[in-house]
Amino acid sequence: MSQNEAFAAAAHLHVLLRRKTGRVTDTEWMVHNPEYAQAIVRFARDKASEDGHDDLLPLAERLEALVLPARRPAAPPVPLLTVIEGRLKAPSTAADLETRYIGRLR
């Protein structure tokens, strides 16, 4: 994310919200606080659907894309026992025992 792009999107949304709804926002806080940005995006979407201000939607989406972290599906956790068992697994054949770095005691 370019911080300049985020500030530009926040400033554009600020101006439109002020003109269309009378709502005053803090552009710097929008860029630095994801919770505040989410609240402003939600407010802009609500006003767009309630009052027909469709020009707020593209700016709200742009701000959301630039400021809010993307929600990615989490990778399934690797069970700890599987990892430990894989590391502690004993060699299966006698040949494996002979080729190990730490050999048998002499």
Q: Is residue 78 part of a domain?
A: no
Give this prediction's pTM.
Answer: 0.62
59 falls within a domain: yes
**Would you say residue 61 lies in a domain?**
yes
Give the domain extent around 57.
3-67
Q: Give which of 34, 49, 41 is closest to 17, Cα–Cα.
A: 41
Cβ atoms within 10 Å, residue 21: 17
Please report whether residue 13 resides in a domain. Answer: yes
Q: Give the count of domains, the chain.
A: 1
Q: Please give the DSSP secondary-structure letter assigned to residue 71.
A: -
Please check whether residue 12 lies inside any domain of the structure. yes
Whether 29 is covered by a domain: the verdict is yes
Give me the tens of pLDDT residue by residue for the chain, a chain 106 residues long: 578 899 999 999 999 999 999 999 999 999 999 999 999 999 999 999 898 888 999 999 999 999 887 654 555 555 555 444 555 555 455 565 565 555 555 5
